[in-house]
Amino acid sequence: MNGKSTTTRTKLERGRSALGPALELVHTGRAPTRAVLTSELGVTRATAGAVAAELEALGLIRVDSSPGSAAGSQGRPSHRLAVRDSGPVALAAQVHADGFRAALVGLGGRIVATAPGCVAVMADPAQVLGEVVEAGAELLRDSGLRCVGAGLAVPSAVAEPEGTALNPMHLAWPAGAPVREIFSARVRAAGISGPAFTGNDVNLAALAEHRHGAGRGAQHLLCVATGHRGVGGALVLDGRLHSGSSGLALEVGHLTVNPEGRPCHCGGRGCLDVETDPLAFLTAAHREPGPEESLLKQSGDLLRTEYGDPCVRAAAEELIDRLGLGLAGLVNILNPDRIILGGLHRDLLEADPERLRAVVADRSLWGRSGSVPILSCSLDHNSLVGAAELAWQPVLDDPLAALA
Partner DNA sequence: CGCAGTTTGTTCAGTTGCGGCACAAAGCGA
Partner DNA sequence: TCGCTTTGTGCCGCAACTGAACAAACTGCG
Report whether 15 contacts 47 (CB < 8 A).
no
Among 327, 381, 293, 375, residue whose Cα is nearest residue 97: 293
Based on the shown chain and the rule CB under 8 A, indicate whether residue 219 belongs to the binding site for a second copy: yes
Among 66, 68, 144, residue whose Cα is nearest residue 104: 144
Report whether 346 contacts 352 (CB < 8 A).
no
Measured from the CB atom, the residue of 74 and 245 that comes closer to DNA is: 74
For the CB of residue 333, give the shortest distance to a second copy in the complex, in Å.
6
383 binds, options a second copy, DNA, none, Cβ within 5 to 8 A by partner type: none
Instruction: Please report, as residue ranges, which positions from 31 to 70 form the binding site for DNA (by CB under 7 A).
Output: 33-35, 38, 42-51, 53, 65, 67-68
79 binds, options a second copy, DNA, none, Cβ within 5 to 8 A by partner type: DNA
Based on the shown chain and the rule CB under 8 A, indicate whether residue 76 belongs to the binding site for a second copy: no
Based on the shown chain and the rule CB under 8 A, indicate whether residue 323 belongs to the binding site for a second copy: no
Q: Which range binds a second copy by CB under 8 A, 88-96, 202-210, 244-252, 307-315? A: 244-252
As beta bridge partners, residue 264 has none
- Single-letter code of the amino acid located at 93: A
368 binds, options a second copy, DNA, none, Cβ within 5 to 8 A by partner type: a second copy
For the CB of residue 23, give the shortest distance to DNA in the complex, in Å.
13
2 binds, options a second copy, DNA, none, Cβ within 5 to 8 A by partner type: a second copy
Cα–Cα distance, 178 to 182 (Å, whole number): 6
Edge-to-edge, what's the strand order for the sheet holding 99-105? 111-117, 99-105, 89-96, 147-154, 196-200
Burial class, 176, CB count within 10 angstroms (exposed 0-12 / middle 13-18 / buried 19+): middle
40 binds, options DNA, a second copy, none, Cβ within 5 to 8 A by partner type: a second copy
Hey, is 332 helix, strand or coil? Answer: helix
Based on the shown chain and the rule CB under 8 A, indicate whether residue 63 belongs to the binding site for a second copy: no
Measured from the CB atom, the residue of 25 and 327 that comes closer to DNA is: 25
- Single-letter code of the amino acid located at 124: D
Measured from the CB atom, the residue of 186 and 212 that comes closer to a second copy is: 212
Cα–Cα distance, 206 to 235 (Å, whole number): 7
Mask for 65-104, x = binds DNA (CB under 7 A): x-xx--x-xxxxxxx-------------------------
Burial class, 363, CB count within 10 angstroms (exposed 0-12 / middle 13-18 / buried 19+): middle
9 binds, options a second copy, DNA, none, Cβ within 5 to 8 A by partner type: a second copy
Q: How many CA atoms lie within 13 A of 389 on its CB side?
A: 29
Based on the shown chain and the rule CB under 8 A, indicate whether residue 217 belongs to the binding site for a second copy: yes
Instruction: Please report, as residue ranges, which positions from 257 to 276 form the binding site for a second copy (by CB under 8 A).
Output: 259-260, 266-267
Cα–Cα distance, 27 to 218 (Å, whole number): 16
Q: Rounded to a whole number, what is the largest CA-CA distance in the chain? A: 68
How would you classify the pairing of strands 338-342 and 374-376?
A: parallel
376 binds, options DNA, a second copy, none, Cβ within 5 to 8 A by partner type: none
Based on the shown chain and the rule CB under 8 A, indicate whether residue 252 belongs to the binding site for a second copy: yes
Q: Which range binds a second copy by CB under 8 A, 105-113, 118-126, 347-355, 361-369? A: 361-369
Based on the shown chain and the rule CB under 8 A, indicate whether residue 336 belongs to the binding site for a second copy: yes
Q: Which range binds DNA by CB under 7 A, 12-20, 150-158, 199-207, 239-247? A: 12-20
Q: Phi and psi for 54 in degrees, rounded to 5?
A: -70, -40
For the CB of residue 82, give the shortest distance to DNA in the complex, in Å.
13
Measured from the CB atom, the residue of 284 and 395 that comes closer to DNA is: 395
Based on the shown chain and the rule CB under 7 A, indicate whether residue 192 belongs to the binding site for DNA: no
Cα–Cα distance, 227 to 346 (Å, whole number): 11
Among 235, 312, 324, 234, residue whose Cα is nearest residue 275: 324
Cα–Cα distance, 107 to 85 (Å, whole number): 9
Q: Name the site residues for a second copy (rule: CB under 8 A).
A: 1-12, 17-18, 32-33, 35-36, 39-43, 157, 159, 166-167, 216-217, 219-220, 233, 237, 242-252, 254-256, 259-260, 266-267, 329-330, 332-337, 363, 365-366, 368-369, 372
